């Protein structure tokens, strides 16, 4: 299964350079890395990245993440994937720009 992480340009660059990251400041503060399912990603972008430019959408393979990935109840009672460990570049299956157009982020063609 694929899950998704919205990354700022500097976070994506840092992940590519170092091969792993502890995530964005909110991830470090919360003690785990926040992800979204395909059904949750648009709401996550609108709620937490409204008006932000220079974003990337990374897809990650849950099968590669092992037991460090937990599904926990969060926003609206829905279960969200949380990673208790570093986000590794090796787990990223693809990453594409998430441009801001007309005040909303345009997700890649074919995205759910």
Domains and CATH numbers, the chain: 2-100 (3.20.170.20)
Q: Would you call 64 helix, strand, or coil by DSSP? A: helix
Q: Is the pTM of this model over 0.85?
A: yes
pLDDT over 90 (residue 103): yes
Residues 22-37 pLDDT 10s:
999 999 999 999 999 9
C-alpha span between 105 and 40 (Å, rounded)? 14
Which of the pair, 74 or 92, is modelled with greater confidence?
A: 92
pLDDT band at 60 (very low <50, low <70, confident <90, very high): very high
Phi, psi (degrees; rounded to nearest 5) at 75: -50, 125
pLDDT band at 75 (very low <50, low <70, confident <90, very high): confident
Q: What is the DSSP letter of 24?
A: S
């Amino acid at each position: 299964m694929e899950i998704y992480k919205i990354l700022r340009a500097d976070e994506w660059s840092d992940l590519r350079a170092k091969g792993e990251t502890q995530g964005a400041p909110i991830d470090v503060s919360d003690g785990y890395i926040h992800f979204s399912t395909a059904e949750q990603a648009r709401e996550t972008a609108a709620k937490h990245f409204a008006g932000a430019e220079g974003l990337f959408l990374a897809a990650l393979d849950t099968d590669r993440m092992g037991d460090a990935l937990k599904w926990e109840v969060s926003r609206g009672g829905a279960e969200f994937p949380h990673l208790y460990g570093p986000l590794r570049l090796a787990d990223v299956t693809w990453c594409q720009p998430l441009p801001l157009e007309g005040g909303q982020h345009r997700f890649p063609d074919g995205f759910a």
